[in-house]
Amino acid sequence: MTKNIFTGCIPALMTPCKADRTPDFGALVRKAKELISAGMSAVVYCGSMGDWPLLTDEQRMQGVARLVEAGIPTIVGTGAVNTRQAVAHAAHAAEVGAQGLMVIPRVLSRGSSVTAQRAHFSAILSAAPALPAVIYNSPYYGFATRGDLFFELRRQHPNLIGFKEFGGADDLRYAAENITSQEDGITLMVGVDTAVCQGFINCGAGGAITGVGNALPKEVLHLMQLCQQAASGNAEARTRALQLEAALGVLSSFDEGCDLVLYYKHLMVLNGDTEYTLHFNETDALTDAQRNYAEAQYTLFRNWYADWNKQLGSTTAAAA
């Protein structure tokens, strides 16, 4: 098995699209390289942020292949409406040289069945036994993986090394208390941008998968740096981490809603990344009120961060 890629800060890439609303894989690779250069440790593609339900299997696989060919450490999402397709994405990830899997539960058909989910997870993990994998836990997928199922799968599939928790503070607490603290070698990934401090400081997370970090990589990396210092007992870092997380609160909260891709693409357009202007469905768009609110909150945060960062001591200031 390859080394654990599930550490550090990992953006869940969004898929830019061209004027004809087909994927712009050249822009996808450019953004991935930019984020890695900024300090991100790897990327995820295609999770919910990548709009996997709106892409064909061939498009998703092409995006994965392009990222891997460009030398980007890539974790592949296995979301699909049936196990056969999910297995195909896992096998393709292994074939082209991706470094990890984010294993998404079975959806729509028998999604609440533990028996069905056990078989679904097992089939995906078996399709790429050399790739380290985490189970993606999210209320949006309608199934909560609990400790008994996780460890049953882990006994059969040693490539299952961790858990990505999107459910928020209480679910992070459950994962840490009942799964990832059970034994060494199990990684907890924070999966929602509003729970980074909780995940690192109180739950022992080894990394975070971020949405808002696509638009604010420096600031999100700074937050993680502070959280890692706070997790070792640094009181000043803890205070600063909580301040920064609170200031990011509104922008991070977009990650919790169904319009997360619309919001984060718009923030990237504000940064000058015009290739993120369009969405695959022409009718997918923020309302004028949503857009105005997002812009006001983005300006407020950036102004606050610039002023706040000047006040920090050497141990807690953002890395150059």
pLDDT tens track for 72-102: 999 999 999 999 999 999 999 999 999 999 9
Q: At what angle do helices 57-69 and 25-38 cross, to 10 degrees?
A: 40
When pLDDT is cut at 50, 70 and 90, the band that residue 193 belongs to is very high
Query: Helix (H, G, I), strand (E, B), or coil: what is residue 136?
Result: strand
| Sign of the CA dihedral with 107 first, then 108, 109, and 112 last | positive
Distance CA 299, CA 271 (A): 11
Question: What b-and-e string marks burial along 74-84, b requiring 16 or more CB atoms within 10 Å of the CB?
Answer: bbbbbbbeebe
Q: Would you state the pLDDT for residue 1?
A: 43
From the list 203, 247, 204, 250, the residue with the least C-alpha distance to 223 is: 247
**C-alpha span between 238 and 244 (Å, rounded):** 10
- Read off the pLDDT band of 316 (50, 70, 90): low
Average the pLDDT over 292-309 and give the result. Answer: 97
pLDDT at 149 over 70: yes
Report, as an integer, the average pLDDT of 296-312. 94
- What is the mean pLDDT of the segment spanning 38-47? 96
pLDDT at residue 319 tops 60: no
The pTM score is 0.95
**Crossing angle for the helix pair 288-310 and 235-247, to the nearest 10 degrees:** 150
- Which tokens in the block code for residue 177? 């208390």
What's the whole-number mean pLDDT along residues 109-129? 95
Predicted local confidence at residue 304, as pLDDT: 97
313: left (phi over 0), alpha (psi -120 to 50) or beta: beta
Which of 261, 265, 263, 251 minimizes the C-alpha distance to 298? 251
Whether residue 260 is predicted with pLDDT greater than 70 in this model: the reply is yes
What does the mean pLDDT of the chain come to?
A: 94
Residue with tokens 């997790």: 231
Express as a percent the part of the chain with pLDDT over 70. 97
49: confidence class by pLDDT, cuts 50, 70, 90: very high
Dist. CA 271–CA 215, nearest whole Å: 7
Average pLDDT over residues 200-214: 97
Contact 48, 260 (CB under 8 A): yes
pLDDT of 318 strictly over 80: no
Residue range 232-258, pLDDT digits in tens: 999 999 999 999 999 999 999 999 999
Task: Let me know: does 68 contact 98? Beta carbons within 8 Å.
Answer: yes
Helix (H, G, I), strand (E, B) or coil at 102: strand
